[in-house]
Amino acid sequence: MVHHKLLGASLFALLSLFISSQLFAQEAIEQRQKLMKGQSANAKAIKGAVEKKDYATVEAKAKEIVGSSQKIVDLFPKGSTSDKSRALPAIWEKWDEFSKNPVKLKDAASDLAKAAAAKDDAAIGTKVKALGDVCNACHKPFRAEKKG
């Protein structure tokens, strides 16, 4: 009888743990996809602003990417995948490599913000390209082509 209760309690605890980690993963996936969409919108805004030589917007949007880049690693808790996520297991298998990418993103966005503040057209052109390269360099090894 006592044994049954104990078994029941530990099964319940395990089940709750499982459910809460699933919820945790689901929330992290939603949040990082939202963050990535925001980065994409910022990157597009930057391209448009570069064409108009709107340096203030380039600088502001680059700084937003500096901010969001620092939230990336926390939104990839171990094993957080689902059929709605394109995150590849390589993220956690090569965590050291993966976790360097948000730092590269922060540096690239911060370089771009500086070039925009200096209104340096040539540097802005180079830094915009470098920023896009960082996005692609992380997507290639760590993001699946398609969902599911």
Alpha carbons 107 and 113: distance in angstroms, whole number: 10
The answer to the question of residue 37 lying near ligand HEC (CB under 6 A) is yes
The answer to the question of residue 45 lying near ligand HEC (CB under 6 A) is no
Check: CB of residue 47 under 8 Å from CB of residue 128: yes
Cα Rg for the chain, rounded, in angstroms? 20
The answer to the question of residue 36 lying near ligand HEC (CB under 6 A) is yes
Closest CA to 128 of 71, 61, 56, 70: 61
The answer to the question of residue 134 lying near ligand HEC (CB under 6 A) is yes
> By CB under 6 A, what part of segment 58-77 binds ligand HEC?
65, 72
- Looking at residue 99, its amino acid is S
The answer to the question of residue 101 lying near ligand HEC (CB under 6 A) is yes
Which residues of this chain interact with ligand HEC, rule CB under 6 A? 29, 32-33, 36-37, 39-40, 43, 65, 72, 85-87, 98, 101-102, 105, 134-135, 138-139, 142-143
